[in-house]
Amino acid sequence: MKFYKLRKIKVYLFLVLFLFVSGKYLGNEISKKDSLLNKENILKASLISATTTSYVGLYNLWYKKYPQSSFHFFNDFNEWNQIDKIGHVYSSYHVARKSHLFLKKRKISESLFKASAYSFLYMVGIEVFDGFSKQWGFSNYDLISNLIGTTLYYGQEKKLKRQALKLKFSSHQTGFAKYRPSLLGENSLERIFKDYNGQTYWLNFDFNTRLQEKLKIFKFLNLSIGYSIDGFTGARNNPNLDCLDCNNLERQSQFILSFDIDLSEIEIKNKFLKLIVNSFSIIKLPAPAVLFQNNSQFKWLYF
- Show which of 145, 161, 177 is a domain's final residue: 161
Domain of 77, in residue numbers: 1-161
Nearest to 122 by CA among 273, 18, 275: 18
* Average pLDDT for the chain: 83
Looking at the structure of the chain, the number of domains it has is: 2
**Of 40-54, 100-114, 123-137, where does mean pLDDT reach its minimum?**
40-54
Interatomic CA distance for residues 28 and 284, integer angstroms: 36
The proportion of the chain whose per-residue pLDDT surpasses 90, expressed as a percent, equals: 42
Is the domain of 190 the same as that of 132?
no
Is the domain of 181 the same as that of 99?
no
CB atoms closer than 10 angstroms to residue 78: 11
Higher pLDDT, 88 or 1: 88
Is the domain of 57 the same as that of 149?
yes
Is the domain of 177 the same as that of 54?
no
pTM: 0.83
Mean pLDDT throughout 140-150?
A: 96
Interatomic CA distance for residues 255 and 227, integer angstroms: 5
Is the domain of 185 the same as that of 119?
no
Is the domain of 154 the same as that of 37?
yes
Q: What DSSP state is assigned to residue 207?
A: P
Q: Which residues, other chains included, contact 169 with Cβ-Cβ below 8 Å and sequence gap of 6+?
A: 90, 199, 200, 201, 202, 282, 283, 284
Mean pLDDT throughout 93-116?
A: 90
Is the domain of 134 the same as that of 26?
yes
Tens digit of each residue's pLDDT (9 = 90 or more) over 205-225: 987 665 656 666 667 788 999
Interatomic CA distance for residues 3 and 134, integer angstroms: 12
Is the domain of 237 the same as that of 133?
no
Is the domain of 268 the same as that of 286?
yes
Is the domain of 104 the same as that of 205?
no
Interatomic CA distance for residues 197 and 233, integer angstroms: 9
**CA distances for 246 relative to 44, 138, 196, 197, angstroms:** 49, 31, 16, 14
- Angle made by CA atoms 111, 112, 113, in degrees to the nearest 5: 95
Name beta bridge partners: 68: 133
- Show which of 115, 132, 161 is a domain's final residue: 161
Is the domain of 209 the same as that of 96?
no
* DSSP string across 32-84: --GGGHHHHHHHHHHHHHHHHHHHHHHIIIIITTS-B-S--B---TTSGGGHH
Is the domain of 18 the same as that of 50?
yes
